[in-house]
């Protein structure tokens, strides 16, 4: 059953009907189908649920059904729950029982417990550090420090079922805006809320809308930036996968505010799942009359087109994105004129991030004052991060602005695994920086991060531990920008190349005493001489690591040592003859044929031949732990007595 919503009254009717359908569903299993959980086999778990429930002769709801057709049990998949590390995740409603790490084999047990005995399967619940189990999300420390605005429906609804979205107040804000607000009132509301763009820069959203509204011309565009180029971040992807209609609704509200009739979504090519869900959402929104001509009989018309990117980081930059949409190389251009005055095909265009748009309906729904009261005074609201790297609870989080890095890393993230020491947290991707332990109590908001030399960015947050080499991290990001620089500005094209060259030399132990000053000088030149944000921020990873971890650079240059035991050229693998039990596993597997040994004689690595691939460490049985890395001593001396020695 579908609705054709052609008036506010019909929207209210649909809302009530979808909510009622929801209320009638006695219980349901929600399998997380974010990119991470799908990779871990969530779809197989989902089909097993469907199959076994059908086998029980129960009717299964895979969709929300309407009066008279409902089944006893619902099975659906949702968007990302956030705790990707422990996937696949399954949620059992109505209690919200939260199962982690579910395999196909676990499904019968969950079904029996939930449907026959009214119990829960203890061993599949989230296990806390102290060994106790948490029944629902709310009892898990990972979730308790979070506040969900953008992700408010992610994990709770089936993203491809528009009725679930409507049941959860979807399109209510659009309805309210079209009925009760003038475009100026929308802009005023966004201004009062203090919303700043979540694409990284933190530009006040209302200002952009205001400029665009007052720009000349009747043809205007809305563009949603779903390019998410930061390598190592998946927030926007998760929002599109988990709650695509929220973004469409936000875009429609923005379009109403600025007077646009067309919108575009520029989606990163590497996100096939997000793309397919988005296409489905768009199709349903049109079918229901929530996009298209004369929406809800208001006279306002708006439609959206999806554009698939083709793989270029710089296309996340707004002017490059627009050039790419127009069908050419994604080359940034100088601003001004800003897109709000001259954007797509020279027409005034508002371009915002996925999360910015997703926040707008929530602001309309709950009021600008409520939003302004969350987060900090200058950065209201929440920040969505993909928390990854050397951290126990990897995943997608949404936290109020003003939270400290320490709370994110230790309370939500659960700290560093394997008893390693925390070293740094990297935010803002290739444009951002690395912040050290001393800054763990820094407040997370646009301005504090920037003053520390890093950047909010779009939401990548990578935690580094004692084994991460900061010179290598800087080199890594520069390698990325060298590759992604569009090449128009010589300082960016040639400068990043040279910086990368120097950084590579340092990681190889070929650094020279003057290198650090040279790096700093070049960074300045690149920042001054680039037209777009890519070049202007590319040196940030180098500058912040030089500022906070200079000693690591110095030990690479002066002592030829990589204290993190990471840089290949500066470390050596060494087998402790005391510990080696001559099992020969490493010797047989060594791809470089660099390990010698004989029966009951400890193995030895021929240093000149060693490719330093690390396979031997991985293979050495943990009970022996005979192989380790060393730095600063180029070739550890090893006693070698075997007759087979060369």
Ligand X SMILES: Cc1cc2nc3c(=O)[nH]c(=O)nc-3n(C[C@H](O)[C@H](O)[C@H](O)COP(=O)(O)O)c2cc1C
**What residues make contact with other proteins under the rule CB under 8 A?**
35-36, 38-40, 84-85, 87, 229-234, 237-238, 269-271, 274, 307-313, 324-330, 386, 388-390, 394-395, 426, 429, 460, 462, 464, 468, 473, 476-477, 480, 486, 589, 591, 613-615, 618-619
Instruction: In angstroms, give the least distance from the CB of 594 to ligand X.
Output: 42
Told to check if 640 binds ligand X by CB under 6 A, we report: no
Question: Are 160 and 278 within 8 A, CB to CB?
Answer: no
Segment 294-300 long-range contacts (CB within 8 Å, at least 24 positions apart): 294/6, 295/174, 295/178, 295/252, 296/5, 296/6, 296/7, 296/8, 296/10, 296/11, 296/174, 296/175, 296/178, 296/179, 297/6, 297/7, 297/8, 298/178, 298/179, 300/178, 300/256
Q: Which of helix, strand or coil describes residue 291?
A: coil
What is the DSSP secondary structure assignment for residue 30, as one 8-state letter? Answer: E
589 binds, among other proteins, ligand X, ligand FES, none (CB under 5 to 8 A by kind): other proteins
Instruction: In angstroms, give the least distance from the CB of 34 to ligand FES.
Output: 12
Question: Quick one: 577 exposed, middle or buried, by C-beta within 10 A (0-12, 13-18, 19+)?
Answer: middle
What is the DSSP secondary structure assignment for residue 421, as one 8-state letter? Answer: P
Residue in 74, 88, 155, 197 binding ligand X, rule: CB under 6 A: 197
Instruction: In angstroms, give the least distance from the CB of 426 to ligand FES.
Output: 12
Told to check if 386 binds ligand X by CB under 6 A, we report: no
Told to check if 533 binds ligand X by CB under 6 A, we report: yes
Nearest 5°: phi and psi at 627?
Answer: -105, 135
Residue placing its CB nearer to ligand X in the complex, 330 or 509 = 330
- Helices 244-258/354-366 angle, 10° precision: 80
Told to check if 270 binds ligand FES by CB under 6 A, we report: no
Q: Which two tokens stand for residue 263?
A: 């919108």
137 binds, among ligand X, other proteins, ligand FES, none (CB under 5 to 8 A by kind): none
Residue placing its CB nearer to ligand X in the complex, 353 or 388 = 353
DSSP letters, 508-555, are TT---TTHHHHHHHHHHHHHHT-SSHHHHHTTHHHHHHHHH-HHHHHH
Residue placing its CB nearer to ligand X in the complex, 98 or 271 = 271
Instruction: In angstroms, give the least distance from the CB of 125 to ligand X.
Output: 36
Gap between the Cα atoms of 601 and 581, Å rounded:
8
C-alpha distances (whole Å) from 518 to each of 384, 403, 431, 449 are: 36, 36, 20, 26
Instruction: In angstroms, give the least distance from the CB of 314 to ligand X.
Output: 5
Q: Tokens 């940030």, residue?
A: 540
Pairing of strands 262-267, 303-308: parallel
**Size of site (CB under 6 A) for ligand X:** 22
Gap between the Cα atoms of 252 and 237, Å rounded:
20
Q: Tokens 């990325």, residue?
A: 480
Which residues, in sequence order, are CB contacts of 213 under 8 Å at separation 6+?
183, 184, 187, 257, 258, 259
Told to check if 258 binds ligand X by CB under 6 A, we report: no
H-helix segments, 96-157: 107-111, 141-144
Q: What is the CA radius of gyration of the chain?
A: 27
Residue in 114, 189, 225, 544 binding ligand X, rule: CB under 6 A: 225
Question: Quick one: 303 exposed, middle or buried, by C-beta within 10 A (0-12, 13-18, 19+)?
Answer: middle
Cis amide prior to 94 (ω within 30 degrees): yes
Instruction: In angstroms, give the least distance from the CB of 568 to ligand FES.
Output: 21
Told to check if 330 binds ligand X by CB under 6 A, we report: no
Residue placing its CB nearer to other proteins in the complex, 518 or 589 = 589
225 binds, among other proteins, ligand FES, ligand X, none (CB under 5 to 8 A by kind): ligand X
Residue placing its CB nearer to ligand FES in the complex, 193 or 426 = 426
Residue in 227, 241, 249, 411 binding ligand X, rule: CB under 6 A: 227
Residue placing its CB nearer to ligand X in the complex, 164 or 236 = 236
318 binds, among ligand X, other proteins, ligand FES, none (CB under 5 to 8 A by kind): ligand X
Instruction: In angstroms, give the least distance from the CB of 153 to ligand FES.
Output: 23
Gap between the Cα atoms of 499 and 522, Å rounded:
7
Gap between the Cα atoms of 352 and 345, Å rounded:
17
**Size of site (CB under 6 A) for ligand FES:** 2
Told to check if 445 binds ligand X by CB under 6 A, we report: no
Told to check if 201 binds ligand X by CB under 6 A, we report: yes
Residue in 349, 353, 382, 507 binding ligand X, rule: CB under 6 A: 353
Residue placing its CB nearer to other proteins in the complex, 4 or 483 = 483
327 binds, among ligand X, other proteins, ligand FES, none (CB under 5 to 8 A by kind): other proteins
Instruction: In angstroms, give the least distance from the CB of 389 to ligand FES.
Output: 9
Instruction: In angstroms, give the least distance from the CB of 35 to ligand FES.
Output: 8
Told to check if 232 binds ligand FES by CB under 6 A, we report: yes
Residue placing its CB nearer to ligand X in the complex, 134 or 374 = 374
Residues near ligand FES (CB under 6 A) are 231-232
Residues in touch with ligand X (CB under 6 A):
197-201, 203, 225, 227-229, 314, 316-318, 351-353, 356, 458, 532-534
């Amino acid at each position: 059953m579908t609705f054709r919503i052609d008036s506010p009254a019909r929207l209210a009717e649909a809302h009530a009907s979808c909510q009622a359908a929801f209320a009638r569903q006695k219980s349901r299993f929600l399998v997380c189908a974010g990119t991470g959980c799908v990779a871990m086999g969530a779809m197989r778990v989902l089909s097993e649920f469907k199959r076994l429930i059908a086998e029980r002769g129960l009717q299964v709801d895979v969709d929300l059904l309407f009066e008279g057709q409902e089944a006893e049990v619902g099975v659906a998949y949702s968007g990302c729950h956030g705790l990707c590390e422990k996937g696949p995740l399954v949620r059992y409603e109505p209690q919200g029982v939260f199962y982690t790490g579910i395999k196909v084999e676990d499904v019968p047990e969950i079904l029996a417990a939930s449907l026959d005995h009214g119990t829960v399967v203890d061993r599949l619940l989230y296990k806390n550090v102290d060994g106790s189990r948490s029944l629902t999300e709310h009892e898990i420390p990972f979730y308790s420090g979070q506040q969900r605005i953008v992700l408010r429906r992610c994990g709770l609804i089936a993203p491809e079922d528009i009725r679930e979205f409507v049941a959860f107040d979807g399109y209510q804000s659009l309805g309210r805006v079209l009925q009760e607000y003038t475009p100026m009132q929308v802009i005023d509301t966004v201004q009062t809320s203090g919303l700043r763009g979540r694409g990284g820069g933190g530009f006040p959203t209302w200002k952009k809308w205001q400029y665009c509204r007052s720009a000349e011309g009747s043809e205007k565009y809305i563009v949603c930036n779903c390019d998410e180029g930061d390598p190592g971040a998946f927030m926007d992807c998760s929002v599109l996968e988990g709650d695509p209609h929220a973004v469409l609704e936000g875009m429609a509200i923005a379009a109403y505010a600025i007077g646009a009739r067309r919108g575009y979504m520029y989606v990163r090519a590497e996100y096939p799942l997000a793309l397919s869900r988005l296409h489905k959402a768009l199709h349903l929104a049109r079918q229901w009359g929530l996009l298209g001509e004369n929406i809800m009989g208001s006279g306002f018309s708006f439609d959206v087109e999806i554009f698939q990117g083709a793989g270029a980081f710089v296309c996340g930059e707004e002017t490059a994105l627009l050039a790419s949409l127009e069908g050419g190389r994604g080359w940034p251009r100088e601003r001004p004129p800003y897109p709000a005055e001259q954007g797509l095909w020279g027409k005034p265009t508002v371009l915002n991030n996925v999360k910015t748009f997703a926040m707008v309906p929530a602001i309309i729904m709950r009021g600008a004052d409520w939003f302004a009261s969350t987060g900090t005074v200058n950065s209201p609201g929440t920040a969505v991060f993909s928390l990854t790297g050397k951290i126990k609870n990897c995943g997608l989080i949404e936290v109020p602005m003003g939270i400290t890095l320490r709370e994110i890393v230790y309370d939500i993230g659960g700290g560093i695994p394997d008893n390693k020491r925390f070293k740094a947290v990297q935010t803002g991707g290739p444009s951002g920086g690395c912040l050290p332990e001393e800054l763990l109590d820094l407040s997370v908001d646009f301005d504090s991060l920037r003053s520390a030399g890093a950047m909010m960015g779009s939401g990548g947050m990578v935690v580094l531990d004692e084994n991460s080499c900061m010179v290598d991290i800087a080199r890594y990001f520069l390698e990325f920008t060298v590759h992604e620089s569009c090449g128009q500005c010589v300082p960016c094209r040639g400068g990043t190349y040279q910086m990368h060259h120097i950084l590579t030399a340092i990681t190889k132990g070929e650094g020279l005493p003057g290198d650090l000053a040279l790096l700093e000088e070049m960074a300045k030149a690149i920042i001054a001489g680039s037209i777009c944000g890519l070049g202007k921020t590319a040196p940030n990873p180098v500058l912040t690591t030089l500022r906070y971890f200079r000693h690591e650079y110095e030990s690479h240059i002066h002592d030829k040592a990589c204290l993190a035991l990471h840089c290949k050229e500066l470390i050596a693998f060494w087998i402790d003859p005391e510990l080696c039990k001559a099992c020969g596993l490493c010797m047989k597997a060594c791809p470089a044929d660099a390990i010698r040994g004989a029966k009951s004689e400890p193995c030895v690595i021929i240093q000149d031949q060693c490719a330093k691939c690390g396979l031997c460490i991985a293979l050495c049985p943990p009970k022996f732990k005979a192989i380790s890395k060393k730095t600063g001593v180029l070739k550890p001396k090893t006693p070698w007595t075997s007759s087979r020695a060369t």
